[in-house]
Every structure is written in C-alpha cells, then in structure tokens.
Chains A and B, each alone.
Chain A
C-alpha cells in the first residue's frame, strides 16, 4: 500500500468499489450477451405448458411421467411462464434474477477485500461453464444460488437448531433442484453441524421439502426418481466405457474452458493442503467430480462443472489473500490470462456466436450446446435471420406434416422444441427415453453417444400406443409395459396400481399378466 493510499483510505476504498462495480457490470453484460435457451429446456417447457393447461405435470398428457430433472426449477418457472406467457422470455428472466442472487451470495462476503472480490468476478466472467449455464433455461442458475447460499450459511458451524434447519433446507432444495447435487451439498451441510443431538433433527426437518416431493413423486409418478435418471443411468453401458467418456468430459472442458477447472483445482488443492475447516467442502467437490466421471459426464460441454465451480469460488473466498500487490494481482492475472487464451473467450462472445460445426460438435459426442443453439435461441440473436420465431416456424411445418401421418403418436429424437410445439394432442415416443417410461428402461443401442442413448422401438410398441392394446412382441417387454401402463395411467389409488408400483421399483415385472 502506498503512503498516499494510507493517507487517503477513503479514496482507496472508493477506487476499489468503482473497480469492483465495473467488473460486476462486465459480468452482467457478459451473461446478458451469452444468454440463451437450450433445446433441453423445452422438455421442461412442454411439461409446464401441459401443467398450466390442466393436464398435470406430464410430458405426454396420457401418462404420468416426470421428464424434467429439476422439480424446484419447474415450480419456479411455472408461475413466471403463467405471467409472461412466453417460456423463452420467462426462462431468461428467471435465470437472470436467480443468477444475480447467486453472484451476490458469492461476492458479498469478500466485498471488503477488493482484490479477492475482483478475482472471483474475473473468474466468473471468464468461466464458459458459469456464463453459459447462468441462463440456458436449465436449472444450473438455481443450483448456483442454492449452493452459494449453503456455503454462506455454513461459514460458521451450526450449533443451534435454527441454523441447522436452514442448512438442511438448502441441502434439500439443492437436491430438489437436481437430485445428484445431494452429493455436493449433503456433505457440506452435514459437516457444518455441531452438537449433533440438537442439530441433526433440525437438519433433517429442513430436508422436509425434499421428502414431501419424493412422497408425491412416488404416489403420482409411481417412482422416486425422474424418468431422465432411468433413461440416462440405466443404459446397460459397461462401466469402463462410461469412465472413459467421463474423462473425455473433463478433457473437453480443459480444452474449451480452462478457467472453470483451474478454479476448481485451486480450491480443492488449497483447501485439502491448508484448509483445515474447509476440507469437507473440498472433498465434497472431489466426490461430485468423481460422480460426474463415473456417469460419463454430459453431452453439454462444461454443464456439470458449473455447480462445483460455484462451490470452489465460495471456498476461494475463504482463503487468506496476499497483501502485496504482486501476490494480490497474480490470481487475477492468471484467471484473466487463462480466460482470454480459451478458444472462444466469453467476453468476446457476441451475436455472431456460433462457431464452425466441427468446433461445436466433437467426435467425443460432447458439444458446445450454446454454440449449437445460440443463433436460433440466443438473446442477442433474436433479431437475426434465424430467430426463435423463425425456428419455430420451420419446425411447425414439419410437425404439422408429421401429425397428419400420425394421428395418435409418433416417434422422435431431440424432442425439446419439437415436443413443445407438438402440443398435448399427440404422444411422442422419445427414442432417447427421456419422456418415455418404457424406452427409458430398455438397454441403449450401440454405438452410443453420451446423453443420447437411443433405444430401438420394440416390435409392436407403436401399434400398442396407437391402439391402446398391448401388442408388443417380446413377452418380457410386454409385461414391463403392462406394469408401466398401470403405474402411469391407472387410477392413482387403486390396489392394482400400487402392486404395479412395487413391481416396477423392485424389478419384478416379468410375471405381470398381459391381457391379450
């Protein structure tokens, strides 16, 4: 610190505040310029649309199936869509608000330490995963806010029931946003508890919303997990192939977005080596990263890294920051240098963002999902030649033609926007199984692509759906379908349906009687 600065601490503070405000503005502008809505968000939009029109929380109105992975995001999105009308605008608006809360929760604890706050802001600006998934229409923004809130809460250990209950509530809400986040949030919340006899019951009480949803899910959908979990995790793909794909997911992120994993690695390393009180959150991040690798990652580049990235930012906010200018600036310079040396720096992303196809789509099957959809569904591109409405128009013609051929149901892949535009009067047989309860439980076809596990339609399945009579040729699959039909279409409280629920969840579906 210079002599002048010591003599004029007020001026120093003002300059720091101005600098931080400028970085905050840069972050806001970057997120706005990269705002988009992905095709997968439209899977949720179709359920929201059906729900708002009185068909229930269903994707195909004929059956009770949870095709969205994020119940809490669904419940937040639904009223906004009801008010705004357009789910695209509603998702962007909600994402903006929730992301602002997340950023605030990360930054406010270090606002009085300008260099540290500046690092966090620069890291967020330069992280492609964070900026891409601060919007996207998916649940990531809400995950960010809840995890940042949890990290804020657990800065001091919970010795009383009330803070323990809040920690439990945040863990529960995070799990309600995306169930696998419990691996990340759970250990963090639990590690904050002290005086366990008093705090554990309160923590458990905080998990009540999650428990309520699980009970509802079991009663209404007949299964505890979303259909997407069955479609993506029960694929019968060998574990070593998934591990290799998971490693590829990490390598893809290193290539396209070095800042995200750099920040994550720094937080883990610093906390595990010197962290003392913060080792459990760091271990939770490690656990979550192992889980990501185990399931093969995702097809959207960097998507699953944004949540551990936010936790890592919160952990870095706890680090003692160097006082010397060189030490204080170094992390900032590193983050900026890595961010600017990325193949597509976030700060330069504009309306023309969509790179060449071979840069978007790699042979690994992992895509720059924003690159894929930005021209059609990016906020900056709305006035461009391929506007959302133009895109819709293009699909509407195709869907109209398809509907003319298929009066009841039709099979399709990439069912996001197509599913939303199809409306409630047709059942879609999603060959990736995300919205189809039978296909979700069948083994995936090989060769496979991550996140897009194609299923072959069983012989007689289409005829079964269109006629309402079970004509599936394979007796085992026919029996499985009979159970699923009872669970998803039978009267909710009938004894037969509850026997079917038990059979479906215990895997005893082979002996179910199939009416012929």
Chain B
C-alpha cells in the first residue's frame, strides 16, 4: 500500500536527495573495470564499432543495457567521464526516491535515507562507472511494481531490462516472475515475451557480431580454471570482508530477506530472489571489489524495510534508525568525511580491497580539474611511450584506464585475458590466482606480433587463426558462421591438448620444493628411461591428481590418485603404485583444477 505523501515528508525526501547528491558527488569515481566498457563506448561513438580494440570484435562488458545507456549519453554530450558520473548519480537518486516514496512516517524516510547515505559501498557502487546504478533504479522499480501488484507485463518488462543490465539478476526476478506464468497461457506468453525477448535479441546479436554468447570477461573467467568450491570459498571471503568493511550493507541485505519472509506473499518471493542473488554472488566467487554484487540486494532490503516499517509502530521505526546508525558506526570508513584525498592510505580488508580507494586518486571526481582529467593513473604515464598509432601495449594493473587513454589507434591487451580473445581462451599461468584474477602467460612472440601477427607457438597457430576469422572476418562469411558453432566447443580441447600451459621440468626440479601445477600439468623429464613401479610425491590433500607415464610420446601407464579429503587445504605425501610396472622417459602430472593450492613436490620413484 502506498501512503499518501504529506508536505513535510516531501521536505524530508528532498533533503535526503540533496544529501545523497552531495555525498555521491564527493565519492564519485570510475573504476578501471568500467573503463573497459567506456573504451568500447568511445570507439562506438567514434564510428569504430562496439569493440575494445578496433581491429577485433570483442565484447568486454557484461552489462549491455548499461553500455547502451552510456553510449546514448556519450552521443548526446560528447563527453564520457562526466556523462557516466552524471547518469550514475541520476539513476541512484531515482532509486532512493522510489524506495523512500511509500514511507508512511518521517522516521522511516529518515531511516531509509540514512541507510543509503551511510553505507560506504552503496555510495561506492552508486557511481563507479559500472552497472549498479541502473540495477538500483530498476530493482527499486521492480520491487515497487511487484509489491503494488502492478500488471504482469510491467513486472516482466522491468525484469527483462534487469536481466539485460546484468544476466545474474535472473536469480532476483525469477521467484516473482515464475508464479505469473502459471495464471494463464496468454499471460505466460506475455511475461516470457517481455522479459525474455530483449535478452534473447541481445544474445543473438552478440553471438552473431562477437561470436560468443557471453562476454570475453565471462570467457576469461570460465577458463581461469577455478572449481566451484574454490569459487565458493572466495565468495565466502568476499561476504565476510564486505561485512567487515560495510556492515550496514550486509545487514540491510540480510534483514531485507528476513523481513520479506515475515511479510509473506509477494514480499517473500522478492526476499527469496534477493537471497538467491546473494547466494549466486557467493557461489560465483564474489569479486575482488568488496560489495560488488550485493548492492542490488541492499536496495531490495531497503525497499522491503520501508514497507515493513510502514506497518509497524514508532518504536520499531526508531529501532531501525538506531540500528542503521550503529551499523554505520561499525564501518572503518565514513561516507561523510570522504574527500579528494580518499584512498591515500589504502583501505584493505583481508584479500579484498576497498575498490574506490584503489582507483579514486586516478579517477575521483573531486580530483578533476581543468588541467587534470581522468583517468590520471601513473601506469598511463609509463605506457605513454608505447602509445603510438599502430602500436600495441600489454597493460598491467589498469588495462581499462591505459586502454582508454591510449585511444583507438593503439592495440591493448591485458594479462588477465579480459580484452583479448586468444588469451581469454588460454588457461591461467602458473602462480597464485583467484577465480576472478588469473593472469595468462603471454604465448611466445604474441606481444611482439600484435596487433596482426601470430604467436610463434605452433600449438596456438590454428586457434589464433580461427579466432581471427571469428573476430575479424566478414560477418556473413560461411567460414565465420561455422566458427560460431564450432569454436567455443573446441577451445578447451584445443588448449588442453596443446603444450600451452604445461610446465616442463627435469626431475631434479621437483624432488625438493613444491611447484605450482598449471592447467596443462607438469611434465617431469627423467634423466634416462627408467622402469617405475611406485611413485611418492607431495600433493594437495583436497585435489584429484592424474599421473601418466610416458615413453617418448606414448602413454604407457595411467594412475589416478583421488583426493583424500576435500575440506583439507593442506599438502600431504601420497604413494602411487604402477601396475604393472612401466618403462618411462617422462611423467605428466595433472591436478584437479584449482587455484593457489595445486602443487607438486618431493617426487621420488622406485623400480
């Protein structure tokens, strides 16, 4: 039920918007990841197409609708940075307005505005250049429409826009939409058409244009090689660290879920959706940005909280306000004091970093002036010498900013494979990595050969040529159309059977200290052909290992060593028996795909 607005509540709502506007302006920034999208937008606006590097059709963004909104803004204003921040702030203010509008009392308005104004991570992702502001306003509208019992077509349309903004919101909207499908066939068709067709339309367009159903970011993420339990563990750390950094955000998310179930009906379905969205965020590994995928659930929680409190007494409302203030005081950073020097002393919680603190000095709005324009990162200065027309840069920490600053004439790739179609299809390089942060080893000769050459590693020659056909060939050529179906399926087998990603070591190198096992495995060369009946090695207790004994290139024996205990992150010595004993010149050891902890060491062989 929407309560009628009183004049004094209007006063408070406008006060809240003004406060948030000031805080959003003071905290406004653009993340490096957003510059991946902004470079594509800039290229599209300049007539080069929606591409990261103008020579390749590669989708480096996960948020098609947000990208289209930014592109429209860029075409109107001619500016990218200020337009992005302006649209973000407008969308976030609209979201808060929609959430606060049904509030029945002054106290609820104050509590809701306080929650938004005092949550550091909500403010952080209310700009950032990423899609959360659009998600916020669409989620607020969707929740309001669902609770108000608006027509199924309205709800389905909003759901479609949400999914088009970020596919993972399908978890959020599904519990609300599914019951609508059961009412009648006609309504089911309407709901499916309005929510699904825009998404389907985009997917088909992207598939035809880019050659992949998902973005290159997702491809790079998939080939990073993290198992679901590794992702879940990282996701758990993500929530834990987010809670430590911004307890108010996490508190509102979970209290919102609880209140939705208490309220029952549509509110319970919304709460279920919010819970599923949080669950997805955890199981997918979260993000290296604290709070990244939780702000939509924060908006849901605030919306449900406003509805619940509107039916509760003054004391409950007062309790909510006090809770908001206490949660806010628990945060190590204050939204009110954040200024131009934010990030000077980098705030870090566990493995997670305050995302705004990392990039604020390079892109913070308060740091802009006539003479200093974003992005203004030291890495851009150091890459400046390579920024020559026709040249190529392998960007390090901030590929988005470096790419944006380099302009369309410079070919830019990053080590994490997010912007390069070949690297995205390669397994990660050996070494520590997280599910969402896995560097690739640049194939030999690849960096030097860019943008038009091919790597000198023969194993990647065919793959490179196929990818070139896909990303650079004529959109209607038959050869390319066949790749649309064949290439994604061939990627993994092609790479797995190649020598790329394989660590080739002499036996001496693995008899003592452990080495990290890459996706292609470790090939241990024996000094001379040798008959082996038993092998002991230090391995991770929580992973399966496969050991192949090779005589020249022939596999003469295969032994699988199952994990001892998948909860155990430690390392233990395992003994493998080769039956019957085989004569080998080398041993290939592969590990169950994991990150960080997959090792091999102390190898000993017995005849």
Contacts and interface: CB of A to CB of B under 8 A. Distances in A.
Interface stretch (B227-235, B361-369, B493-501, B554-562): B361-369
B10 A270 contact: yes
Given A251-B368, A254-B26, A341 B334 contact: yes
Contact of A270 (B14, B26, B366, B368): B14
A447 B372 CA distance: 14
A122 to B, nearest CB: 13
A330 B336 CA distance: 15
Given A244-B370, A258-B26, A270-B14, A338 B336 contact: yes
Nearest to B371: A363
Interface string B1-37: 0000001111110110111011001100000000000
Interface stretch (A23-31, A319-327, A408-416): A319-327
A163 interface: no
A326 B26 contact: no
Contacts of B109: 327
B337 interface: yes
A269 interface: yes
Given A261-B22, A341-B334, A341-B337, A330 B15 contact: yes
Interface string A46-74: 00000000000000000000000000000
B110 A327 contact: yes
Interface in A240-290: 241, 244-245, 247-248, 251, 254-255, 258, 261-263, 265-266, 269-270, 273-274
B17 A322 contact: no
Interface residues of B, number: 35
B372 to A, nearest CB: 7
Contacts of A266: 14-15, 18-19
B219 interface: no
Contacts of A191: none
B329 to A, nearest CB: 13
A324 B11 contact: no
Contacts, number: 107
B318 to A, nearest CB: 8
B336 A327 contact: no
Interface in B332-381: 334, 336-337, 339-340, 365-366, 368-372
Main secondary structure of the interface of B (DSSP, over half): helix
Given A319-B11, A322-B106, A326-B321, A262 B371 contact: no
Contacts of B10: 270, 273-274, 320
Contacts of A371: none
B304 interface: no
Interface string B162-206: 000000000000000000000000000000000000000000000
A389 B18 CA distance: 45
A323 B366 contact: no
B365 A251 contact: yes
B300 interface: no
A330 B365 CA distance: 27
A364 interface: yes
Contact of B25 (A254, A274, A323, A364): A254
B217 to A, nearest CB: 32
Contacts of B366: 251, 254-255
Contact of A255 (B8, B11, B339): B339
Contacts of B156: none
A322 B11 contact: yes
B223 interface: no
B321 A262 contact: no
B105 interface: yes
Contacts of B25: 251, 254
A82 interface: no
B370 A341 contact: no
B26 A269 contact: no
B370 A245 contact: yes
Contacts of B140: none
A272 to B, nearest CB: 9
Nearest to B118: A337
A319 B26 CA distance: 26
A255 B366 CA distance: 7
A269 B14 contact: yes
B107 interface: yes
B337 A322 contact: no
Given A254-B366, A322-B106, A341-B337, A327 B12 contact: yes
A274 B109 CA distance: 17
Nearest to B107: A326
Interface in B299-324: 318, 321
Contacts of B336: 337-338, 341
A323 B14 CA distance: 16
Nearest to B109: A327
A338 B22 contact: yes
Interface string B95-117: 00000000001110110000000
B22 A265 contact: yes
Given A327-B106, A330-B110, A251 B369 contact: yes
A320 B371 contact: no
Given A255-B26, A326-B106, A326-B107, A320 B7 contact: yes
B395 to A, nearest CB: 27
A327 to B, nearest CB: 3
Contacts of B7: 274, 320
A460 interface: no
Nearest to A448: B370
Interface string B75-95: 000000010000000000000
Contact of B8 (A247, A258, A327, A363): A327
Contacts of A258: 22, 26
Contacts of A341: 334, 336-337
A363 B369 contact: yes
A254 B371 contact: no
A255 B340 contact: yes
A208 interface: no
The interface centre, meaning the residue of B11, B15, B370 with most chain A CB atoms within 10 A of its CB, is B370
A334 interface: yes
A270 B107 contact: no
A498 to B, nearest CB: 41
A201 interface: no
Nearest to B93: A269
Interface of A: 241, 244-245, 247-248, 251, 254-255, 258, 261-263, 265-266, 269-270, 273-274, 319-324, 326-327, 330-331, 334, 337-338, 341, 343, 362-364, 447
> 6 tightest A-B contacts by CB?
A327-B106, A266-B18, A364-B369, A341-B336, A270-B14, A322-B8
Given A244-B370, A320-B10, A330-B15, 11 more contacts: A254-B366, A258-B26, A262-B19, A269-B17, A269-B21, A273-B10, A320-B11, A321-B11, A326-B106, A326-B107, A331-B15
22 contacts: A244-B369, A248-B370, A251-B369, A254-B22, A266-B18, A270-B14, A273-B10, A274-B7, A320-B7, A321-B8, A322-B11, A322-B106, A326-B106, A326-B107, A326-B110, A327-B12, A330-B12, A338-B22, A341-B337, A364-B370, A364-B371, A447-B371
